[in-house]
Amino acid sequence: MTALLDLSGVTKAYPGVVANDNVSLTIQPGEVHALLGENGAGKSTLVKMIYGLVKPDAGQMSLNGAGYAPADPRAARAAGIGMVFQHFSLFDALTVAENIALGMENAPPMRQLAAQIKAVSETYGLPLAPHRLVGDLSAGERQRVEIIRCLLQEPKLLIMDEPTSVLTPQEVEILFKTLRKLSAEGTAILYISHKLEEIRSLCDAATILRLGKVVGHCIPRDTSAAEMAEMMVGSALKPPQKAAGPVGDVLLELRGLSLPPASAFGMPLRDISVSVRAGEVLGIGGVAGNGQDELLSALSGEAQVPAATVFLKGADVGRLGPNARRVAGLLTAPEERLGHAAAPDMSLTENAMLTGAARQGLERNGLLNWGAARSFANQIIADFDVRTPGPGNAARSLSGGNLQKFVIGREILQRPEVLVVNQPTWGVDASAAAAIRQALLDLAEHGAAVIVISQDLDELMEISDNFAALNEGRLSAVRPAAGLTVAEIGQMMGGAHGMEVAHV
Amino acid sequence: MIRLEKRPQPSRQMALATPLLAVLATMVFGGLLFAVLGKDPVQSILTIFWQPLFGEFAFYYRPQLLVKGAPLVLIAMGLALGFRAGIWNIGAEGQYIMGAICGAAVALAFYPLDAWWIFPLMVICGGLGGFLWAMIPGLLKVKFGTNEILVSLMLVYVAEQFLSSMSLGLLKNPEGYGFPGSRNLQQYASAHNAEIIAGSGMHWGVVAALIAVIFAYVLLTRHRLGFAIRVTGEAPRAARFGGVNPARLVLFCLGASGMLAGLAGMFEVAGPAGQITIDFNVGYGFTAIIVAFLGRLHPIGILLAGALMALTYIGGDIAQSQLGLPAAAIQVFQGMLLFFLLALDVLTNYRLRFGAAEVA
């Protein structure tokens, strides 16, 4: 039997880095093939070449035994390859059917297309009403739009890039049923992820990349997650250690915090009440877009909140701005590193000044002490192992993981009493992520209260003492993290968001 | 094929080199333009750049450089503060007019009283006039989210109407035989913005421009407010996260640029111009926008750009009268300068690559 897709010796170099070095990969029809690797291992470059977005420098690709060299994504789609990206490209203000029509070469009349969408969605257990506005859909439903857009082209190979990062565990189950059904019908799936348990339950084969090279193949069902992780990273990882320190007084308390949405498709915060004690790590889970950013800006002081809703050590800080809250001991690190936590084109010294000015004594009477800021930046770089030539380099010249270490380090070194971080290890490689988690745990051990907002449930279970979930701007009841089952967490996150499976 | 490739960080050398390259390119293409018009290109370029500085009548033109350059630098310095933060005050011309009217009105109110405090009071009121005029777009933006570009620009035309009303009405010279225009402040010693050193062109506006440059330099490099301005321009969300209050910043930037434009107007009416007339304003407020960008919104750059702009004005005048170059050609020449600067700007952030393009 001929392989569906065969890559041999594919190489792609960018200035200063070889993204793919002599990579070979074979996918059989109907196979669910996992592509595993850390950030920067070359997974994205490889699938971009298959999808015609990037041209390889060397090597051969063949599809069904014939040579395959797509000039652009249109050619790839015509050859029967579909791709669902991690970040959706959908217009909020258009309906599902209109969004799908936009991505098609020759869109049929709207009524006919709606019927097709309905047919495909029912066949594959992906219920979706063609006339709904995309802006009103949950993240899981939006992903369905992207998947159905691909399925309408009847692909032979479907590429999925980190599809579960925006889903609740229940939604993941629904997606996996669909993917298994597709595979049973002969559609091959190339599945990119770094969530090892998912890969073990779904995939038939796995190819592992590290630094652009294939470092191993395995059958995920017969390989343990630890073994796969070791192949990905190249060495065994030390899980973060937490000393169960004594839990002290309540440091931060929210009482009935509500906040109207900042924009038309934003999420309001609804009646959030929670308290965090000294030495405690509170994990807040939830699917993206359920109020995480809004909660962080209400805590950082960027958003104006009503009086008597946010209390720090018993004092109402709700009307204070970001710097007054920093002085009081409440520090934050937002999710978006470039443009929010740091100014991309400014140097690390300047970015150290950005949040450190008030608390680190970097300014006096409004005059800035750049020498002190530079040594603060140098201290962050040294203590948090930030890989950069020096503090004079622009923030955007750092890799995601290094910049994240800088941002988290900048806040931790200011000795916060309460630290709130949003997605602290998003897009960060495994060893850097472990270092960041350890730093957060150390901070709690020294008596700070830490709130970690994250969409990575494994991360939250690993470091939190207590767990709550955001769903539609509401915070669930807080429960001890130890002993929570995946099903319980899923329910706290809002279950399947009303996405019941169509019975086929 | 020529391709652009993004640099990992902006190139410092290029940021310094592009203004010089832009001036060179303007000389080359301006020379071509003059050649097409039938003039000797080398002679024309020399007339514009050399004559005012080192020519036969340089003793007359050199002071003119200061007189023309000072208001440009003063206004551009204020505008640059706002432009750095992404706050676009396009109405400096209007603030310049209002500053001149307020400053002159104070002097005329006390005429012919002889007192040392009249000129300082004019300075204060001139700055205040520009400041208040700029507060209109500022407050409207902060309270109602209006667009400061449109509001400040429209207010230029309001100020121009106000200027003609004043020179034909309230401020008209009662001994002026019915001609429009106010009394000439050059003939009122207490209000005259005289040259500090006779024949040098150095009046108090030049001093104010230099002080503004130094002040802005310190503000931008050493002070929290200047840092807030720079972060807001680079990444508004990061600035908010860093504790910058955007509304206060809008008011500060518009207020500061309005005040400096008002001062420029006041120094002009009390010195080189002498009186409020219908055609008192000659476009300094708009040209200053070019000066601000030509100087890369940097205090030292603006100082040099103001000098260069003044040079092309004066040199252009000489070229018109001596070589008979049309005024439009001189304007095209000045326009080229801004065009080349902005076009070459791309080299700061991008690198040129020669060779076939590839899919990427």
- Does the pLDDT of residue B358 top 80, yes or no? no
**Amino acid in position A503:** H
Q: Measure in Å the smallest separation between the Cα of B209 and chain A Cα atoms.
A: 23
Q: According to the model, what pLDDT value does residue A245 have? A: 61
The answer to whether residue B278 is domain-embedded is yes
pLDDT at res. B208: 95
Residue A311 has a pLDDT of 95
> Does B257 lie in the same domain as B187?
yes
State the total domains in chain B: 2
Mutate to test the interface with A, among B12, B224, B297, B351 (most CBs of A within 10 A): B224
B337 in a domain, yes or no?
yes
Does a structural domain hold residue B181? yes
Provide the residue range defining the domain that includes B12.
1-39+325-360
Q: Judge whether B56 lies within some domain.
A: no
B175 touches chain A (CB under 8 A): no
Is B52 within a domain? no
**CA dihedral in degrees (B206, B209, B215, B217; nearest 10)?**
-120
CB contact under 8 A, A322 and B237: no
Please name the residue ranges forming H helices in A446-483. Answer: 457-463
pLDDT score of A198: 85
The answer on B345 and B314 residing in a single domain is: no
Q: How many CB atoms lie within 10 A of CB B38?
A: 8
What sign results for the dihedral spanned by CA atoms B231, B232, B234, B236?
positive
Q: Are residue B148 and residue B79 in the same domain, yes or no?
A: yes
The answer to the question of residue B94 being in a domain is yes
B305 in the same domain as B168: yes
From the list A71, A322, A396, which residue is nearest B241 (CB)? A322
Q: Are residues B79 and B228 in the same domain?
A: yes
Using a pLDDT cut of 70, give the percent of chain B over it. 97
Residues 216-275 of B with CB under 8 A from A: 222-225, 227, 230-231, 234-235, 237-243, 245
How far away is chain A from the Cα of B86, in angstroms, using its nearest Cα? 15
CB-nearest to B10 from A54, A340, A345 is A345
Residue A353 neighbours by CB distance under 10 Å: 26
Q: Which residues of B touch A357 (CB under 8 A)?
A: 224, 227, 242
H or E, element range at A191: strand A188-193
Kindly tell me the number of DSSP H helices and DSSP E strands found in chain B. 14, 2
Position B47 in a domain = no
Rounded to 5°, angle at Cα A170 from A481 and A138:
105
**B354 and B269 together in one domain:** no
Are residues B248 and B331 part of one domain? no
Q: What is the pLDDT of residue A388?
A: 85
Sequence-distant (≥ 6) Cβ neighbours of residue A200 within 8 angstroms: A220, A221, A223, A225
Task: Give A358's DSSP letter.
Answer: T
B344 and B291 both lie in a single domain = no
Peptide bond into B112 cis (omega under 30): yes
| H-helix or E-strand spanning residue A97 | helix A96-102
**Based on the domain organization, do B282 and B204 belong to the same domain?**
yes
Q: What is the sign of the dihedral through the CA atoms of B85, B91, B93 and B95?
A: negative
Q: Cβ separation of A302 and B240 shorter than 8 Å?
A: yes
Tell whether B269 and B238 lie within a shared domain. yes
Residue B238, pLDDT score? 95
Residues (pLDDT < 50) of chain A are 502-504
| Segment B63-84 mean pLDDT | 95
Mean pLDDT value across chain B: 91
Degrees, nearest 5: CA angle A151-A155-A158:
85
Annotate B181-248 with DSSP letters as a single string. S---GGG-TTT----SSTTS---HHHHHHHHHHHHHHHHHHHBHHHHHHHHHHH-HHHHHHTT--HHH
Domains of chain A: 5-233 (3.40.50.300), 250-492 (3.40.50.300)
Residues B89 and B203 in one domain: yes
Q: Are residues B219 and B299 in the same domain?
A: yes
Is B57 inside a domain boundary?
A: no
Q: Give the ipTM.
A: 0.83
The CATH number for B161's domain is: 1.10.3470
